[in-house]
Amino acid sequence: MDKPSWKDFGFATRAVRAGTERSDFGEHSEALYLTSSYVFDDAEQAARRFQNQESGPVYSRFTNPSVQMFEERLAALENAEECVATCTGMAAILSVCLGLLKAGDEIVTTGSLFGATIQLFDNFIAKFGVGVRYVPLTDPQAWKEAITPQTRLFYLETPSNPLLEIADLQAIGQIAREAGVITVVDNCFCTPALQQPLRYPIDLVLHSATKYIDGQGRVLGGAVAGLGTHIEKIRQVVRTCGPTLSPFNAWVLHKSLETLQVRMRAHSESALALAQWLQSHPSVARVIYPGLESHPQHALAMQQQSAGGAIVSFELKGSDADALRQKAFALVNATEVFSRTGNLGDTRSIMTHPASTTHGRISEEARARAGITQGLIRLAVGLEDIQDLQRDLARGL
């Protein structure tokens, strides 16, 4: 029986059904294929497989049924032609760069990025002769003016980490298309349950699947989805260099996608309620959340996203950096419900001080460019009772 064309089905159906491959045993729940290699019927079949003359598994560094099922399901949810999975989100970014860039090319990006991504671009990708230009995320004209004959890639997050700035996907994507530049959007915060960048003039969507795709803080993973011509180049990097997603992690992530939509709706509902509560607290200078009308890009966010997402950032009142850092540390240390960790995307709510953790190793200049102050707190709102989260924050504030 031929596979259905998943584009004809709703999101929830694709999340539960797409990418399912049954073995001869006819299992209902997808099997986990823990194997490093595969046995061939004969020498001739082995030769055909290794020379790409016949489809089928060869070696789990680049072909594993569990990984392929996850890739197919995520591609269906992102409305992508193809998807390639990696061992982490950072491995996905590296694989994109190695697959699509060469010495002399340039990346146009923004300071509104995850700290490790900035380190990757500035400290490692730059070593290979790839230039990096930084522009304001929210100014499409700045992206256009940054293009040179060497520009090959636009790379952006929306919403950004941790200030939740919103990029205009239509405007920036159209600028890139007209210039022949590849666009890559990190969709980690929203996931395809809330935002689907490939519906705009965007070429590739990237994920740290470690976050909301898993959703329970269990495994590491990454993925890139989009146009098949680009994915094939990235897949060759994964095949040769080996930043491969493990079969077990792929199986966990594949099953996690089944609950992605209901989880993201619940996260967003609680995050909005917490953001509204924080707005009225006397110790809070400002609350940053795309679902609030006070967000400067609220209208654009609600045009591109179906909800505000799970991340809420806020700044404490005060002007002295040292005093703000002390206040922030006191708040973090007072928590009993929120977890103190640098991760996000968990059923358990997480509180992070970006200036000393996720963005602590980048330069002061890069922090300033990204708007990371000592009084900034990032919350990844989980699935606990909202009243308990409010009491936990009130204690520290």
pLDDT confidence of residue 1? 47
| Distance set, CA 154 to CA 109, 114, 148, 149 (Å) | 6, 15, 12, 13
Residue 366 binned pLDDT confidence (cut-offs 50, 70, 90): confident
Range of the structural domain that residue 377 is part of: 260-396
pLDDT digit string, tens, across residues 334-365: 999 999 998 899 999 999 999 998 777 777 77
Domain CATH code at residue 292? 3.90.1150.10
pLDDT confidence of residue 48? 95
Q: Per the domain annotation, does 360 fall within a domain? A: yes
| Distance set, CA 304 to CA 281, 300, 361, 366, 380 (Å) | 29, 6, 32, 27, 20
Q: Which of 98-102, 108-112, 205-209, 378-382 has the lowest mean pLDDT?
A: 108-112
pLDDT confidence of residue 2? 59
With pLDDT > 70 as the criterion, what percentage of the chain qualifies? Answer: 99
Phi and psi at 209, nearest 5°, equal -70, -15
Q: Per the domain annotation, does 284 fall within a domain? A: yes
Q: Per the domain annotation, does 345 fall within a domain? A: yes
Q: Per the domain annotation, does 247 fall within a domain? A: no
Q: Is 393 left (phi over 0), alpha (psi -120 to 50) or beta?
A: alpha
* Average pLDDT over every residue of 310-335: 95
The CA distance from 388 to 200, in Å, is 39
Would the pTM of this model clear 0.85, i.e. be above it? yes
* Average pLDDT over every residue of 124-136: 96
Q: Per the domain annotation, does 30 fall within a domain? A: no
Question: Based on the structure, what is the number of domains in the chain?
Answer: 1
Q: Per the domain annotation, does 27 fall within a domain? A: no
Q: Per the domain annotation, does 154 fall within a domain? A: no
Mean confidence (pLDDT) of the chain: 95
CB 344 within 8 A of CB 352: yes
pLDDT digit string, tens, across residues 53-90: 998 999 999 999 999 999 999 999 999 999 999 999 99
Q: Per the domain annotation, does 326 fall within a domain? A: yes
